[in-house]
Structure 1
Amino acid sequence: MTAYLAGPDVFLPNATAQAARKIAIAARYGIVGLAPLDDASTAAMSEDQAWRAIFHKDVAMMEVSDIIIANLTPFRGASADAGTLVELGWFFGHGKPVFGYSNSAVPFAARSRAQAGRIADDVAGLMHESFGLADNLMVVGAVEFGGSCPVVLPHAGEELAFDSLAAFERCVALAARRLRGDGI
C-alpha cells in the first residue's frame, strides 16, 4: 500500500527530516509513504519552469499512490493548505481512499471567526460555516466519505505543535486498520 503524504510540511525548514520521520512511521504500519518534497533539480530552473516541474512530479506521485494521508492542520489561515486540499480533492475524485488529520482541535467556525476578527471580510455580513467540524464541510466530507473515517484530531481538545506527528501516527494506524478491513 502506497500513501501520498500531503501537507504543508514541505514548507518547514526541516522538511526533509520531517518527511523521513513520516515515511518511517508509515513503514511501521506496512505503508510506503511518498512525500512530495521539492528536490534540488528545480534549483537551477526559472520559477516558471520550477513550479511546473513540481506540479507534474507531484501529480505523477499521486497517480502511483493508493491512498492519501493529508495534513489538514490550518496553514496561514483558518483552513488547511490550499495545495493539500487540491490533492485531497484529486484523490477523492479518483475514488482513491482519503485519510486526514489535524494538529488543531479548534473547530473551523471558531478559527474562521477569529480570522475575520483580524482581517475584515470583503463583504459585510458574510456568514461563517458553523457545523462544529474540523474544517470546511467539503474537506471533512471528502475524508469521511472517501476513507470511511473521520478526520483524526488531537485528544480531548488538546492543541499540538504544527510539526507534531502524534495525530499523523494515529491517522496512519487508522488507515492501516481500515485498509486491512479491521474497521475503525
Structure 2
Amino acid sequence: MPQSHAHPLVYLAGPDVFLPDSARAFEALKAACARHGLQGLEPSDGELPEDFDGTDDERAQRIYEGNIRRIARCDAVLAHVCDFRGLEPDSGTVFEIGYAVALGKPVATYGVTAGSYADRVAAVRPCTPDAQGVLRETASGLMVEGLGQRLNLMLTRSTHLAATFDEALAQLARLLGHGREEQRAP
C-alpha cells in the first residue's frame, strides 16, 4: 500500500475521547505510534474556537466533518473496541471503522474482552439454544450471533483484531511496512 506521508498517519479511534483527561491519553497513544515509525492522529473536535457559540447541531456537524476528513487523509485506523456502555463497542468508533474499511484502509482493533460475543451475552442475559442449536435470548427470541467471533462478524472479518493496544499497533505497523525491525535497518 503506498503511503501518503513520511510516517504513515494513523487515526486513533475509540471512546478514549470521552476520558476526563483525553489529551494525556492521546499523547501516550501518539508516543507509542511514534516508536513504531507511525504518526498517530486523535479524533477532531471540529477545530472549533474556544469562543464558538453555535448550536449543538452545528458543533456536532463540525466534529463529524473534521473526523471524516482525518480518516480520509490517514493511511490506517487503530480502533479501541472495548465494551462501551454495554456489550458492544462505541457506535461512533464502529462507524469510523466502517468508513475506513470502505475507503480501503487497514484497520487494527484492540480491547475486546476474551471469549466469544455469544458467551458474553449469555453471561448477562438469559439465553437458550433453540431446536437447531442456535442461541437465542429467552425473552425476545432474538438470535445471539455466534460463529465463535469475539465481536459481530462484520467487525472481526474486516479488521485485524488484537488483544491489546501494543499488539494491534505492532500489527498495524507491520501492515504499513513500519515494524520496529524496519526502523533499525540502515
Q: Which has the higher helix share?
A: 1
- Is the Cα–Cα contact under 8 Å of residues 73 and 101 in structure 1 kept in the other structure? yes
2:92 corresponds in structure 1 to 83
Question: Structure 1's 45 and 169: CA in aligned 2 closer, same or farther, altered over 3 A?
Answer: farther
Gaps of 5+ in 1: 144-148, 154-166
Moved over 6 A (4+): none
3-state secondary structure, aligned to 2:176: helix
2:130 corresponds in structure 1 to none
* Structure of higher CA gyration radius: 2
Q: Which has the higher strand share?
A: 2
Which moved further from structure 2: 169-178 or 5-14? Answer: 169-178
- Following the alignment from structure 1 to structure 2, what is the Cα–Cα distance between the partners of residues 46 and 14? 25
- Following the alignment from structure 2 to structure 1, what is the Cα–Cα distance between the partners of residues 178 and 59? 40
- Following the alignment from structure 1 to structure 2, what is the Cα–Cα distance between the partners of residues 21 and 181? 19
Write out aligned runs for 1:121-136 (5 A): 124-136=140-152
TM-score (norm 2): 0.78
Question: Structure 1's 60 and 181: CA in aligned 2 closer, same or farther, altered over 3 A?
Answer: closer
Count of residue correspondences: 160
Gaps of 5+ in 2: 1-7, 127-136, 180-186
Identity of aligned residues (%): 33
1:170 is aligned to 2:167: yes
- Following the alignment from structure 1 to structure 2, what is the Cα–Cα distance between the partners of residues 103 and 15? 20
Instruction: State the one-letter code of the partner of 1:55.
Output: Y
1:41 is aligned to 2:49: yes
Instruction: State the one-letter code of the partner of 1:138.
Output: M
- Following the alignment from structure 1 to structure 2, what is the Cα–Cα distance between the partners of residues 9 and 139? 19
- Is the Cα–Cα contact under 8 Å of residues 77 and 115 in structure 1 kept in the other structure? no
2:102 corresponds in structure 1 to 93
Instruction: State the one-letter code of the partner of 2:165.
Output: F
Instruction: State the one-letter code of the partner of 1:173.
Output: A
1:160 corresponds in structure 2 to none
TM-score (norm 1): 0.79
2:65 corresponds in structure 1 to 56
- Following the alignment from structure 1 to structure 2, what is the Cα–Cα distance between the partners of residues 106 and 61? 33
1:152 corresponds in structure 2 to 162
